[in-house]
Amino acid sequence: MAIIGSGNIGTDLMFKALLSKKVEAVAMAGIDPASDGLARARRRGLAVTAEGVDGLVRLSEFEDVDIVIDATSAGAHPHNAAAVQQYGKRVIDLTPAALGPFVVPPVNLGHHLEAPNMNMVTCGGQATIPIVAAVSSQTTVHYAEIVASIASKSAGPGTRANIDEFTETTTHAIEQVGGARRGKAIIVLNPAEPPLIMRDTVFCLIGEADHDQIRASVEKMVAEVAEYVPGYRLKQDVQFTPVDEPVTTLTAEPVTTRVSVFLEVQGAAHYLPAYAGNLDIMTSAALRVAERIAGGTV
């Protein structure tokens, strides 16, 4: 595999790939010759270029690459994807560009393994969409709202430049992948010092349903995500609150209950600080997809 982007996400992904027994990271492309990511990649034996994707395709190692992971920005992704796909390379997109199908590994990876370009939604999407899907597997989710709170220090220039894309992409994926009839996504950049780890809240509006089955489904899904993101966990028990006031839905079906799920994501600290769980869950999900494409059993 090759990585485009030598910033925080691309560098953390490289360290995770170096620990993998199913994929081999052989190249990294960036645009800053002095970047820490390129320096670290060079020291670990990867071929590197500071000429972006155009430099990547000229590397001799690129011929043997099967998978290219784009860790740049939504604006840069269309050019990057086109540049490598003309050589028949598979693309995993860590930006909110959403050119290919949304992929959340424990929910729908099996449906898109042959897709030439897979989009990893957003950090908030990777953390919360599995929960929405777990609830919607048991009952109709009329509305789902997610709030992703991340440490301000873990939000680099790319994240800040893509806030609009984050909310739009995550909202669409809540509906398309999570199964909610309507969705909404909110991101909060928390300026607290010392920085707090990523926390996510998921609210789902449902009708009459078996609460024990929903609780079990959510707990099972949390365990599945934790297989590749060890710091992913429930902050407290799943909560069910009666809805007293009338709620307007897309259908005439009554809404009786609000399901509340509180999560936290602690990073593995391979390269990024442990509080940057928002970035860790993205790189972990991308590696999960790469390993499945490579044919490994996960």
Is 190 annotated to bind ligand? no
Distance CA 79, CA 30 (A): 14
Is 183 annotated to bind ligand? no
**CA distance readout (Å), 152 to 9, 139, 187, 236, 277:** 15, 36, 11, 24, 12
State the catalytic residues: 123
Is 154 annotated to bind ligand? yes
Is 278 annotated to bind ligand? yes
Is 10 annotated to bind ligand? no
Is 7 annotated to bind ligand? yes
DSSP 37-80: HHHHHHHTT-EEESSHHHHHTTSGGGGG--EEEE-S-TTTHHHH
For tokens 């950049």, name the residue. Answer: 189
Is 155 annotated to bind ligand? yes
Is 160 annotated to bind ligand? yes
**CA distance readout (Å), 242 to 37, 128, 207, 212, 254:** 50, 22, 10, 15, 12
**CA distance readout (Å), 85 to 15, 88, 89, 175, 187:** 25, 5, 5, 28, 32
Residue ranges for the known binding site are 6-9, 154-162, 278
- Extract the annotated binding site for NAD(+): 6-9, 154-162, 278
